[in-house]
Structure 1
Amino acid sequence: MIFPQVDAFRGGENLIRVVGHRGARGVLPENSLIGFDFSLSIGVPLLEFDVVLTADDVPVITHNHRLHAPSFRDAEGLFLTGEEPKVSSLTFEQIQEFDIGRLDGHSAYGRRFPDQAQMDGVRVPRLMDLLNLISDPKNGDACLMLELKSDPDLAHDTRYREKLVGRVLQEVRARDLSSRAVLHSFDWNLLEACQRQAPDMPSSYLTQLPENADDVGEDSSKAVCPDFRGRRDDIPHLVKQAGGSLWCPYYADVTAKNVELAKDLGLCVAVWTVNEPEDIAKMIALRVDAIVSDYPGRVQRHLSDLGMVW
């Protein structure tokens, strides 16, 4: 099947796409409407973000399965301490009591993003809030790389997977945006459920080799991602066999060989998460299709300096 939204992420001879990771996490609060709107406003209409279900089955946009202490503040304006409550244990109304507009600069996570603006009154958005934003005619070229977050505690629960996929699809279809969304996950079993429930939508397969360290302060993908140890250059074949349209590998895992193989198989290659100038340059040299970045402006600058477009 040909999926028009895949072409939105596909590069060309003088073209590499730029994808705003969690909006533009390097400069604005991550997975926030203001971050998404900023990315759209600078000519980066491709958005990558994370979806988790609340206790009342509302799809919300946040990365971790627990409220992230370095970026969640309570009603008194204090960053969370102690055990982080699970998103799935709270209703959407309860989650709205927390502010995500600042980062705790004393935390290891906060020190990773020293340039992120500090704001007040920023709340966790619903998936529907973002869908409403891109439904605005001025954002008609926006496409979504929608990551369904698989809870490791429920990774083998078929009913949970089907419910998560079903609720996400219900909202995407309610706004008639199926043709502008890609379903994206590290959990290949979850992507099977996506293909069953939404054969009209493409699947994007996230991968990370186990030898690479996890990012500080973030849920690890390794609990749900297949173990590709010793199979680096065979991953594109596995993605294609699984029914994938996009391969989204960790940038340190790509080589000239596996990028070429993936393209020969017809896969679109979108690498994550590429922030440092030297790494951006390497990915451009490899001619990946798309670069997912917390700093979309940095990628734009590199491409512009080379006379390339995005």
Structure 2
Amino acid sequence: MSRFPQLAPFTGGDGVVRVIGHRGARGVMPENTIEGFDFTLSIGVTALEFDVVATADRVPVVTHNLHLANSATRDAQGHWLTGPELRVADLTLAELKTLDVGGLDGRTVYGQRFPDQAFMSGVRIPALSELLDLCSKPGSEAYLLFELKSDPDLQDETAARESLVATAVAEVRKFGLAHRTVLHSFDWKLLDECRRQAPDMPTSYLSQLPENDDDPGEDSAKSVGPDYATMTVSVPRAVADAGGQLWCPYFMDLTPDLVAEAHDLGLPVCTWTVNETADIDRMIDAGVDGIVTDYPGRVQRHLLNRGLRWQ
């Protein structure tokens, strides 16, 4: 058994496959928002996956891309942003809070990916502290798969990496949630820094092989990840050798043999981002511990149909 109790909600078992809400429940609610996370918790999915980026005034906020997607962002007058996408690191928290992220522009490629997502107004990018406050309320059982986003332009700046980790970890500790937090990244070097600063929190290694395309409208993480072409061992072995406690591969990269190897190495496997029922079935059959999904309700119902549980 791992010495990290935080891993229990991300580890499957006999008849159990964990469900992890991706950016809350992006398929049906505005992503990475308090409204979306609150919905996800309300349906009995207590494991949340989300992304953290720092603002110009060094406040950690919950948003996926390093730039604000025009297809998902409106100004104070309700107009969709246009032109070059705004960089989160160039805006203060107060400036971010003037923007509305409660809906998607259905005319865009990204907006068309999620036609069932609710359209809301007055929804703001949350500071990390707002999400941690929600998750620390009495009675909450939320567990956090907490992705730290690396800026490819700052890959050689040690101070930037140290600052991002230090600020985020300090917020987690302030809200007393270290015992429910797993630190998670595509940037394996950043995870070394996480272990140095927060040895009491397990590290989760995201991976995506270069032959698989990025989804439209998403920042690519390939430039901050390891060089898979030079690896002389399997990815799960590389994760274990690097000191990881959880492996989170892209579902298109996963096979039953790799899941079995990871388990032999003591690594739970939570795969991302699995939305279609055929892929959900394939991941269950492969033996994964958890499924990261934009549609947690869909995965819940599919597990029930197969006589399985998620808690």
Into which bin does the TM-score normalised by the smaller protein fall? over 0.9
Moved over 4 A (4+): 230-233
* Match runs of 1:36-55 below 5 Å: 36-55=37-56
Q: Matched residues in 1 for 2:146 and 2:55: separation?
A: 17
Matched, 1:187 2:187: yes
2:225 aligns with 225
Structure 2 residue identity aligned to 1:89: D
2:291 and 2:304 mapped to 1: Cα distance? 14
Letter in 1 for 2:246: L
The aligned amino acid for 1:87 is V
**Residues 20 and 46, structure 1, Cα contact 8 Å, conserved in 2:** yes
CA contact (8 A) 1:204 1:244 kept: yes
C-alpha separation in 2, matches of 1:83 and 1:233: 41
1:73, 1:96 → 2: CA distance?
11
The alignment yields a C-alpha RMSD, in angstroms, of 1.2
Relative to the length of structure 2, the TM-score reads: 0.98
Q: Equivalent residue of 2:94, what SS?
A: helix
The code of the aligned residue for 2:106 comes to: G
Distance in 1 between residues matched to 2:133 and 2:233, nearest whole Å: 40
Map residues 253-268 of structure 1 onto 2, 5 A cutoff: 253-268=253-268
* 1:1-310 correspondence runs (5 A): 2-139=3-140, 141-229=141-229, 234-310=234-310
C-alpha distance in structure 2 between counterparts of 1:53 and 1:298, whole Å: 32
Cα contact 1:50–1:61 (8 A) shared by 2: yes
Label 1:88 to 1:281 Cα distance change in 2 as closer, same or farther (>3 A): same
Q: Taking structure 1 as reference, are residues 210 and 118 closer, same or farther at Cα in structure 2, changes over 3 Å only?
A: same
Give the letter for the 1:113 counterpart: F
Q: TM-score, normalised by structure 1?
A: 0.98
Structure 2 SS opposite 1:288:
coil
> Aligned partners of 2:231 and 2:10: how far apart in 1?
25
SS of the residue corresponding to residue 282 of structure 2 reads helix
Distance 1:45 1:234 in 2: 31
Q: Deviations over 1:127-154 (max 9, x none)?
A: 1101100111221x21000000001111
What is the CA distance between 1:227 and its match in structure 2?
2.6
